[in-house]
Every structure is written in structure tokens, then in C-alpha cells.
Amino acid sequence: MKIALIGYGKMGKAIEAIATAKGHEVIHRIDMNNLHLLEPNELSKADVAIEFTTPATAVDNIMKCFAANVPVVVGTTGWLDRLPEVEERCKAGNHGFLCASNFSIGVNIFFEVNKRLAALMAPHKEYDVQMLEIHHTQKKDAPSGTAITLAEEILAVNSSKTKWVEGSAHNPGELGIASERIDPTPGTHTVTYTSDIDDISITHTAHNRQGFAAGAVAAAVYMVGKKGVYTMKDVLNL
């Protein structure tokens, strides 16, 4: 598989290491210094593009992949208010697009555990729920994309909560997501239910970026030749 890496920072380099070890070929390593490689005549040499850049640049890069007719796997977080628009453009143009707030197998299983716990806790109004995410200090967005996914899964079943907010909740209807930035934390997410009687917490702790990178490579293999909108649930059969 020929891969165009869009974004050659911490994640781009971690993905290159895993993709190369699995026998794939990275043909472009695109960052701020060689943006001409995003033009269709260059991008279209790849079987798939993997996009890990910044919240401000992700959507433009996705559109460049659509223009080049290259399926794209997107890990960048902090831009998902524009997801409906991107999905519509993908379907209208018959392109290939897969996006995930977190590519690791562990977190995708954690998402399922979170959903099950949220469903079990929903009738028990004596428990309040809050969240904490911890990442390295270079992270541009807060709360993390993973924390937002976890929060949306809770909101879908917990009728006591109407929206998530950054930091502490100001009223009982809000689900507070606290963010801490501590180096070199790759990504830690905790969901805690608290009552006067007891607490229940679930935590996922990434030890390094290998899980994110391996999941992104698996998603890229899955996306070669594909049209349409996909998620990690399709890749992992969850």
C-alpha cells in the first residue's frame, strides 16, 4: 500500500514507523514545508492518505484528498463541528472518508464499556457523572476528541444531562469535562459516577502513541479502494 502522510509530526512519524514495519510504502511526508504535495497530481500517486495535522487545517486537507480521489483516514481532532459538511461532500462526490477521535483498539473497547456503563447508570439519578482527560502540553484542542466522543455516548442515554461543558459543570444538567495538560502524557481518559454512598470510575491510559498509529494503519488498509463514510467500528467489527 502506498501512503501519503499528511502531517509529519508526532503521529505522522509514529504511523510511518508502524506502516514501514508492516511492509507499506510511505510516498509522501507532507508538512508545512512541502504543501505542494497536496496537489492532485502528487496526492493521486497514493492508495490512501492519512491526515494528522491541526484543527485549523484538517478540513482543507480532506477536501484536497477528495479532489485527488484518494481515500482519506483522518485522526485530527478539534474540527468535528464541520463533520456533517465533510460527510455530505464525501457522499456527493463518491469519495472515501474514515474519521476517528481515537484509533486505538483499547479506546474503541473503552467506548463500548462507557456506553454499557452509561446505560446501566441512567436510571440511578443519585449518581452524578463527570469526566477528566489528561494530555501533553502541545495539544491544541480541549477537551480531547476522545473525551467528546465519550461524553456524547453518555448524553445519548442519560436524561439528567443535556450537554457537555469544558471544566466543571455549572448546573446538574451539564456534564463537565476537565482537561489537564501534563507532559509527556499521551492520553488518559476517566469517566466517574459519584454518589453519597460510593464512586465508580473507568479509566483508559495510553502508555505511548503506538496504539493510535497501529489503528490508523489498519484503517488505511481497510480504506484502500473504498468509497463512502466509515468509522473505526467498521474496521474493528464492533
Ligand X SMILES: O=C(O)C1=N[C@H](C(=O)O)C[C@H](O)C1
Ligand Y SMILES: NC(=O)C1=CN([C@@H]2O[C@H](COP(=O)(O)OP(=O)(O)OC[C@H]3O[C@@H](n4cnc5c(N)ncnc54)[C@H](O)[C@@H]3O)[C@@H](O)[C@H]2O)C=CC1
Q: Are 192 and 132 in contact (CB under 8 A)?
A: yes
Q: CB-side exposure of 198: number of CA atoms within 13 Å?
A: 4
Beta strands in 148-198 (DSSP E): 163-166, 174-181, 188-194
6 binds, among ligand X, ligand Y, none (CB under 5 to 8 A by kind): ligand Y
C-alpha distance from residue 161 to each of 71, 124, 151, 174, 177 (Å)? 37, 13, 10, 5, 13
Q: Confirm whether residue 173 is marked as ligand binding.
A: no
Q: Provide, rounded to whole angstroms, the least separation between the CB of residue 127 and ligand X.
A: 25
Q: Confirm whether residue 111 is marked as ligand binding.
A: no
Q: Are 52 and 9 in contact (CB under 8 A)?
A: yes
Secondary element (H or E) of residue 58: helix 58-68
Is 91 a catalytic site residue? no
List the one residue from 73, 144, 213, 230 that touches ligand X (CB under 6 A): 144
Is 140 a catalytic site residue? no
Within positions 123 to 162, which residues make up the interface with ligand Y, using CB under 6 A?
138
The size of the chain, in residues, is: 238
CA 51 from chain centre, in angstroms, equals 11
Q: How far apart are CA 5 and CA 19, in angstroms?
A: 11
Q: Provide, rounded to whole angstroms, the least separation between the CB of residue 68 and ligand X.
A: 26
Q: Confirm whether residue 7 is marked as ligand binding.
A: no
Q: Provide, rounded to whole angstroms, the least separation between the CB of residue 211 and ligand Y.
A: 8
Q: Is position 102 an interface residue for ligand Y (rule: CB under 6 A)? A: yes
Q: Confirm whether residue 136 is marked as ligand binding.
A: yes
Q: Is position 97 an interface residue for ligand Y (rule: CB under 6 A)? A: no
Q: Is position 108 an interface residue for ligand Y (rule: CB under 6 A)? A: no
List the one residue from 6, 18, 59, 235 that touches ligand Y (CB under 6 A): 6
User: Residues 135, 161, 189, 204: which is the catalytic one?
Assistant: 135
Q: Confirm whether residue 145 is marked as ligand binding.
A: yes
Closest Cα to residue 71, out of 139, 136, 3?
3
Query: What's the order of all strands across the beta sheet hosting 174-181?
Result: 163-166, 174-181, 128-135, 188-194, 199-205
Contact window for ligand Y (CB under 6 A) among 40-48, 96-104, 118-126, 176-184? 96-104
Q: Provide, rounded to whole angstroms, the least separation between the CB of residue 232 and ligand Y.
A: 9
- Binding-site annotation: residue ranges for (S)-2,3,4,5-tetrahydrodipicolinate: 136, 145-146
Residues annotated in a binding site for NAD(+): 39, 75-77, 100-103
Active site residues: 135, 139
